Amino acid sequence: MFDPKSDLKDALFERARGLGIDAIGVAPVDPALRREYYLAWIADGRHGDMKWMERNNDRRLHPSRVLPEARSIICAGLNYYQPDPDGRGKIAKYALGLDYHDVLLGKLADLCDWIRDHGGDAKPYVDTGPVLEKPLAVQAGLGWQAKNTMLVNSAAGNWLFLGEIFTTLNLPANEPVSDHCGTCSACITACPTDAITAPYKIDARRCIAYLTIEHKGAIPVEFRTLIGDRLFGCDDCLDVCPWNRWAQTTRETALNAKPHPDLREMLGWDDEDFRTHFRNTPVHRLKLSRWLRNICVVLGNIGEQADLPALRKTAARGDPLVAEHADWAIDRIEERLASATL
């Protein structure tokens, strides 16, 4: 039977796939969200320094207030999986290439043009507004939130960037996806810092991704050794998910890993070196001081005698945050060298 809404939705999905979007679905503008859990999580302070998560929650928890004239929320996913490149210091897969905000937002902007050509208005979001993207993606049928709170897609595993389009088109909603984690607890076991405090509960203040990216101050000493060689973010709880067995390497060349110099060389960088190398990548928002902080922590864990001169120069740069972590790294390396000698 001819159904104009379904036919329009099918055409929209076909256009989205033509733009390189790997997963797409539609959620209602007033979906079922875990509002009480989110508010309790904020009240407990488990979001750490991410104060922006405290603001605009009247809209974040009620998507119909984000764009009152919207009738549907289109949720899109872009596969970003690729193997980890070689080199000292791991960068989370999402940050290996160009900034996904720009890459996915460009695709959603093109899709918004298509929507306008077909009689609707549209507004795209990729971490650019008060939107609970993972619960919305669940409602749109893209996957389910796993025990590490990340979205799992049955075809792409953990590896989807998420974006949304609020549109005035009244499109049939997809059915939500049920939880398929079962008794598996691999992500909980894999977390180096026990940030997943219970199934479906995470304390960002303990998470290596938070500590190396969002946290602006000194990394607590109790976590520095546990960070290991993780330079920017952490994929441990994602890597172990059994649903990743079907994951395919991303088709989006803009996300391909960018090569980097060795950690020792980057310790000698100034602001201009950092900005030039990481321009248009997720790492750029970290700025030089926190990047050097992270390098020092990693070298404290995996560094060798040849790294000591560069670390001593770094400790003398005049940046108290960097100096503290450089001194810690020097002490750690010297302790390892002394133990090896004994």
CA distance 241 to 211: 22
CA distance 58 to 39: 11
219, exposed or middle or buried, with CB in 10 Å at 0-12, 13-18, 19+?
Answer: buried
**Phi-psi map region of 78: left, alpha, beta (phi>0 left; psi -120 to 50 alpha):** beta
For the chain, what is the total number of helices (H) and then of strands (E)? 14, 10
CA distance 53 to 61: 11
Contact indicator for 260, 277 with CB cutoff of 8 Å: yes
Residue type, 237: C
Residue 144: its H or E element: strand 144-145
CA distance 160 to 151: 8
The answer to whether 239 is a known catalytic residue is no
Q: How many CB atoms lie within 10 A of CB 269?
A: 18
Contact indicator for 280, 326 with CB cutoff of 8 Å: no
Which of 121, 127, 229, 273 is an active site residue? 127
Q: Which residues contact 28 (CB under 8 A, 6 or more apart)?
A: 72, 73, 139, 173
User: What is the torsion angle, in degrees rounded to the nearest 10, for the CA atoms of residue 321, residue 324, residue 327 and residue 328?
Assistant: -110
- For CA atoms 128, 132, 133, 139, the dihedral sign is negative
Query: Taking CA 325 as the corner, what is the angle to CA 292 and CA 294, rounded to the nearest 5 degrees?
Result: 35
- For the chain, the distance separating the N- and C-terminal CA atoms, rounded to the nearest angstrom, is 81
- Could you give the residue numbers annotated as active site? 127
